[in-house]
Amino acid sequence: MKTVDDLIAGYRRFRAGVYAEQAQLYRELGEGQDPDVMLIACADSRAEPSDIFNAAPGQMFVVRNVANLVPPYKPDGGLHGVSAGLEFAVNVLKVRHIVVMGHGGCGGVTASLTESKSALIGEFVAPWVKLLDAARARVMDSGSLNPQFALELEGIETSLENLMSFPWVAEAVAAGKLELHGAWFAIKHGELHWRNPASRRFEIVAP
């Protein structure tokens, strides 16, 4: 997709193909949505959640941002896009699962690691990736030989921890109405790694 004409041509292929095959589903979705899963993913164009999970329209409520980050609960009247999406998913849609999915080669993670020396840092990216400061410190203190990969995983842990700072998320989890999950996708190899909640290790999902 390089031009607007490419986008329009893609829409026409969608109408003739996917939409035509699932017209009834789209008519039903026009009346409302009822997904069981919220997916918090990176905005990176290479890691498309619907493709990775082979999800149909209406199956996942997706929020994407730089480095798939969830900020801590902060009801200060400010503009909080991720928190607003989370509130809607948990309190209105009543999703049963929240998955935080990172990916390989994340530019937001690279920006955190390189800090002010990175061309990726700008007036909005810099304060956003500061959410990774504590995780970055843990990675650097660990002496990891691959800090990029290590911080991609630690960033998922940070977002999972921050999710539990939202009182209504914590209440739903405690009541057994909501489960939190972590995942990491290797773009180059098409591999999905799923977080084991007991060991907190990410294990490759068999294809």
> Is 13 an annotated catalytic residue?
no
What pTM did the predictor assign?
Answer: 0.94
Mean pLDDT of 161-176: 98
pLDDT at 2: 87
Are 92 and 143 found together in one domain? yes
Which is catalytic among the residues 6, 34, 64, 103? 103
pLDDT at 186: 97
Looking only at the bridges linking them, the beta strands covering 97-103 and 191-195 are: unpaired
**C-alpha dihedral over 88, 194, 207, 95, to 10 degrees?**
-20
Which is catalytic among the residues 46, 133, 200, 201? 46
Domain count, the chain: 2
> Is 97 an annotated catalytic residue?
no
**Residue 155's pLDDT band (boundaries 50, 70, 90)?**
very high
Are 9 and 100 found together in one domain? no
pLDDT digits (tens, 9 = 90+) for 178-206: 999 999 999 999 999 999 999 999 999 99
Are 138 and 171 found together in one domain? yes
> Is 201 an annotated catalytic residue?
no
pLDDT at 119: 64
**Residue span of the structural domain in which 28 resides:** 1-32
> Is 80 an annotated catalytic residue?
no
pLDDT digits (tens, 9 = 90+) for 29-70: 999 999 999 999 999 999 999 999 999 999 999 999 999 999
pLDDT at 115: 74
> Is 106 an annotated catalytic residue?
yes
DSSP structure class, residue 60: E
pLDDT at 116: 61
Are 120 and 162 found together in one domain? yes
Are 4 and 78 found together in one domain? no
The domain that holds 148 is classified in CATH as: 3.40.1050.10
Query: Could you tell me which residues come within 8 angstroms of residue 105 by beta carbon, excluding any fewer than 6 positions away?
Result: 46, 148, 187, 188
pLDDT digits (tens, 9 = 90+) for 95-153: 999 999 999 999 999 999 987 666 667 789 989 999 999 999 999 999 999 999 999 99
Do 86 and 38 meet the contact criterion of CB atoms below 8 Å apart?
Answer: yes
